[in-house]
Amino acid sequence: MGESGSAVPVLGCDTIVSLGGATSSGATIFAKNSDRPPGECQPLVLLERAEHPPDARVRCQYVEIPQVASTARVLGSRPVWLWGFEHGVNEHGLAIGNETIFAREAPAAIGLLGMDLVRLGLERASSAAMAVDVIAALVEEHGQGGSGFREFEFPYNSSFLIADAREAWILEAVGHHWAARRARTTDSISNHITIGADWERLSPRVEEHAREIALPLAEPFSFEGSYRDVENVPRAFSEGRLRCSRTRLEAGRGAHDVASLREILRDHDASGRRFRPGATSDQEQYFTICMHEGPSRTTASIVAPLELGRRGPNVVWASFGRPCASLFFPVVLAGRFPEAFTRGSDEPRADVLWWTFEQIGCAVERRPELSDSVREAFDPLETTLLAEGEAARVELDAMTDTAAERFATELLVGVAARVQEAARALLARL
């Protein structure tokens, strides 16, 4: 059952972070799997920085709000029909991802989507602390609401993991109310409220509001204890994934890098890298970090290193489709993006790279034994692209802006061609 008494379409996501104290390089590494309805195309978009007149307004998915004076350059991952982003990174080295969370209070029929708030936070903030302020203020003023799904009506509440090179924050919002705390050295969020009495910041009147609508109250006040819905959403849906991500993050403490967070995004719990069907929806194994079953699938992923003192444009790693059946490629927040990365469509098209990876993922779901063939095809190229992307990070840091734009464009065109060739060749053999 859902927040309004109807069936809940339990659609998930997982977002993770390893701060510098737990990585081998000292950089923060942010990562996320975006889980969306099967077959919903989710390409990349690069928004350029912009200046806006004093009276400007911006139309989000369902509501129009005042625009700010300037917005940052942002790389986002956007479901093809939506305005907002599932996750993204901006030119200041700020990364944000969001999750659906299920609460005892339903959001409004119209308001800001969690994806709107991700994009607005990335456009308007230059640090994690500033993004907490931006998102919190927007939640208080405009509230959350509107369906984030095209095929059915389902307004939802959201949580956010917000990271920069110095720190990360978790913010969880219900309607117009929210709680926030600093992330631990390794931390993650999934699809339920997790901030209990360990909150560091609260919206005004959040405890009073819980009392007014007869929610449970504890002393000290627990945001989770008052607002989390544990009756209408099975615990198996998200608790296993959250436990798994936090356990794997803690186990790798001190050694995390792009490759290790990439592997967490590919996790199928007891099955490791390989998807194995057969679990039922009352079991945690049915809902794994790399999502293949139920009403949602992993449709896009990101791994983003965030470095202190970086001068050049950031380099992050993105993938399309289920990460276990895909490959991560470097993306630079500069230059002109090739159409292979930005083109989307509602229906399968041979010239849309996202759909090529979607078809590979579907093939693995039908025949899980194909997983080995997929990794044999993709792992060598992924290893090469990881090394080339790391080298590009160093080169870009020493370039002028003009040189970096030209270098990034050439790099991305070459990467897109190789990724597209490898994906099409594999699909033809499956």
272 close to 221: Cβ distance less than 8 angstroms: no
161 close to 186: Cβ distance less than 8 angstroms: no
Residue for token pair 């509501």: 63
With CA atoms as reference, report the closest residue to 312 among 337, 341, 336, 332: 332
Cα end-to-end span (Å), the chain: 39
- Catalytic: 13? yes
Strands, E, within 183-314: which ranges? Answer: 186-189, 201-202, 297-306
Distances (CA, A) of 402 to 63, 88, 92, 334, 407: 37, 23, 18, 10, 9
Residue 88 dihedral angles phi and psi, to the nearest 5°: 180, 175
Annotated catalytic residue: which of 13, 41, 290, 324?
Answer: 13
Distances (CA, A) of 211 to 67, 89, 216, 252: 34, 38, 8, 41
The catalytic residues are 13
